[in-house]
Structure 1
């Protein structure tokens, strides 16, 4: 994608996937406590691992944000954030599909795992709605990663039982507006002014195959239902 994805969750509230395409591999071992991962190949052939974020990713996420251009920071956060504050960073490492969920896209470089993108949502209130945001490192624009992140985020949120996703879109970003329309999002005027659109989508069955990462969401949904029954009892 040749543009930055300008969804922006309120930085007061803060906040968190990708699809397995042809030739993609998936590793998954929930019964042993292993990490669920999805491995895909971008348009240029690069192998990218998609997984849920965890506390150990704090510095990776910080480096991802530090490496953004000024324009990309503005598009993601709606102000030129220089450093991710500790409390926001803590929220960015949460992975609860029925609450705050972060998906990281990472690659191997010089023997280290580097974050090149992330997609997030916060369910508030669960399961009615989730506020979402997507971020792709500048050098990975036009790679197709942003689209794949949005697609997987939809899959995970739906599997978790969330009914709708919504996010803010800069009106000046015509490519993003077109992408939202093409993916079935409705665009409504925003209460904050004409420079923003409110994009929203009811989460029906998607037209693409969903990533095995949705196992995380299904497990979380079952846990939420169980907690609800226990509360009633």
Structure 2
């Protein structure tokens, strides 16, 4: 999408409840905030995000999660004031698929921010950016028992398809 920096892509938003948040690309300087964000997630939220139990992010994952190339790999975070400091309260990311036309997304929201509206803000920012970067479709795998996520992506226009070879998952796909 060109030579962009996080400052060019950040936007301040007001949620329906009046809270202020910032949606912006993740940066290498966010490593400590990324660790804190993950540590605040419940065990169930971690399971739903990673499709298995993950106790903590290892250093390699933290490094990978906080580096984007603004093209094939992109991530937006939502920052808000938590306990008097700016903290990450949600993130959405994509990675390009081998075909070059589709990308796979993931999203995770801090438990206390579920149903606040930041999921939609993050996904809309991610989808706009992916489309502007030339991707034609966005897809993901969701645990079938993650009903709130299935409902959420359906509301965003994703189609839901079962995976016969993997009965615990559904594939979600949306044209950009």
Q: TM-score, normalised by structure 1?
A: 0.69
Q: 1:76 aligns with which of 49, 57, 69?
A: 49
Structure number with higher relative contact order (C-alpha < 8 Å, ≥ 6 residues apart): 1
Q: Distance in 1 between matches of 2:38 and 2:10?
A: 23
Look at both structures and tell me which one has the larger radius of gyration over its CA atoms. 1
CA offset at residue 89 of structure 1? 1.2
Q: 1:61 aligns with which of 26, 30, 34?
A: 34
Q: Distance in 2 between matches of 1:172 and 1:32?
A: 37
- In 2 relative to 1, CA 108–195 (structure 1 residues): closer, same or farther, beyond 3 Å? same
Counterpart position of 2:138:
165
Structure 2 regions of 5+ residues with no counterpart? none
Alignment RMSD (CA, Å): 2.1
CA offset at residue 173 of structure 1? 2.5
CA offset at residue 100 of structure 1? 1.2
Does 1:43 pair with 2:2? Answer: no
- Check whether the contact 2:4–2:70 (CA below 8 A) recurs between aligned residues: no
Q: Distance in 2 between matches of 1:128 and 1:152?
A: 18
Does 1:151 pair with 2:124? Answer: yes
- In 2 relative to 1, CA 126–159 (structure 1 residues): closer, same or farther, beyond 3 Å? farther
- Check whether the contact 1:99–1:122 (CA below 8 A) recurs between aligned residues: yes
**Cα offsets for 1:56-113 (capped at 9, x unmatched):** 1011111111111111010011122121111111111122232111111112345532
- Aligned residue pair count: 174
Structure 1 regions of 5+ residues with no counterpart? 1-29, 204-233
